[in-house]
Amino acid sequence: MDIGGKKRSDNFEDRGAGSRRAGGGGGGIGVSLFSFALRKFGFKGALVAGLALGGVYFLAPEEVRQSLLGDTSTSSQGAGKVCEASPKNASACDFSRVVLASTEDAWLKHFSQGGLPDYGRKPNAYQLPTLVVFTGSVSTAGCGNATSAVGPFYCPADNKLYIDPGFYDDLAHKLKAPGDFAQAYVIAHEVGHHVQHLIGSLTRTMPGETKNQVSVRVELQADCFAGVWGHHARTDLAITDKDLSDATQAAHSIGDDALGHKDEAKFSHGSSQQRISWFKKGFKSGDPRQCDTFAVKDYKAL
């Protein structure tokens, strides 16, 4: 990837450091996030989707109540800017702004051309989401509080994407998915959830399917949308074959099976193979209409 001289998005917010970086990015659950949103908006409104680090799922209310007991996170924000904390953070922030700007260009184009999957909602022009960086914990407007343990996530209530730059280290080391395009894929996946929010697929249901199955459809579509952005960025950001394989590795690493989830009925994001396949579908075609995971009638055929 080459980000030199590229546009930086100003839809960027440095929220500073929260109280702590809970869980180090693995295994925790953004409980308060869901419980607040559940109380305020009900399940559909609480639909906050992110990358699975064993963390962000479509939690059923009973799961939330159960997990709440173990939630001891606290939030105290504003203890210093994330992007100014270290040269590494500064570079992560800068990189994130370039990727965000590139997603803005891609989706402004797709929304203006009207080439989107149809869920009965005619979206107007693309509304630009804001990317919030934080460390430790963060408060959202409408989705409650979250710690870094949930991984990057999207809050549909405030149209913001939330990322702790420390996640990039987890991605490179714990999840063995290094490379800047792997990081870009993470941002583009969350942007994909924003697109879903605008076109009406984020809260879609499928008759006869469990919440987990619908969640897999939603997540695979976000992977495909990330690929659509990747297609757009090929020239703009000089995406190479190595970059593509880095993103594929990331998609593999965060598949439900790769994360050790044995029971397919409990999958929330799809297998490694599925995540790679849908990402590539978007990347090769550059066409969001190819990302209609809801048009695949048989769940097993996804």
Shortest CB 51 distance to Zn ion, Å: 5
Q: Are 150 and 55 in contact (CB under 8 A)?
A: yes
59-88 positions binding Zn ion, by CB under 5 A = none
Shortest CB 4 distance to Zn ion, Å: 29
Number of chain residues interacting with Zn ion (CB under 5 A): 3
Nearer CB in complex with Zn ion: 104/223: 223
Shortest CB 79 distance to Zn ion, Å: 28
Tokens standing for 214?
A: 């619908």
Q: Is 49 in the site for Zn ion (CB under 5 A)?
A: yes
Q: State how far the alpha carbon of 214 is from the alpha carbons of 81, 190, 201, in Å.
A: 37, 17, 10
DSSP notation for the chain: ---TT----S-EEEEEE-S--GGGGSS---HHHHHHHHHHHHHHHT---B-TTTT-----HHHHHHHHTT--------SS-STTS-HHHHHHHHHHHHHHHHHHHHHHHHHHHT-S--SS----SPPPPEEEEEESEEE-SSS-EEEGGG-SEEETTTTEEEE-THHHHHHHTTS---SHHHHHHHHHHHHHHHHHHHHT-TT---TT--HHHHHHHHHHHHHHHHHHHHHHHHHHTT--HHHHHHHHHHHHHTSTTTTT---GGG-SS--HHHHHHHHHHHHHH--GGGG-GGG--SGGG-
Which among 131-139, 178-186, 221-229, 277-285 is the span making contact with Zn ion, rule CB under 5 A?
221-229
Which among 112-120, 155-163, 217-225, 230-238 is the span making contact with Zn ion, rule CB under 5 A?
217-225
Q: Rounded distance, CA 257 to CA 171, Å?
A: 16
Which among 72-80, 126-134, 220-228, 273-281 is the span making contact with Zn ion, rule CB under 5 A?
220-228
Nearer CB in complex with Zn ion: 83/131: 131
Shortest CB 161 distance to Zn ion, Å: 11
Shortest CB 151 distance to Zn ion, Å: 9
96-125 positions binding Zn ion, by CB under 5 A = none
Nearer CB in complex with Zn ion: 83/106: 106
Shortest CB 300 distance to Zn ion, Å: 21
Which among 110-118, 161-169, 170-178, 222-230 is the span making contact with Zn ion, rule CB under 5 A?
222-230
Nearer CB in complex with Zn ion: 49/195: 49
Q: Strands 12-17, 137-139: parallel, antiparallel or unpaired by DSSP?
A: unpaired
Shortest CB 251 distance to Zn ion, Å: 11
Contacts of 238 (CB under 8 A, 6+ apart): 1, 2
Q: Are 44 and 60 in contact (CB under 8 A)?
A: no
Which among 69-77, 166-174, 214-222, 226-234 is the span making contact with Zn ion, rule CB under 5 A?
214-222
Nearer CB in complex with Zn ion: 180/219: 219
Which among 22-30, 168-176, 216-224, 288-296 is the span making contact with Zn ion, rule CB under 5 A?
216-224
Shortest CB 86 distance to Zn ion, Å: 27
Shortest CB 219 distance to Zn ion, Å: 5
Nearest residue to Zn ion, by Cβ distance, number only: 49
Nearer CB in complex with Zn ion: 222/250: 222
Q: Which residues bind Zn ion (CB under 5 A)?
A: 49, 219, 222
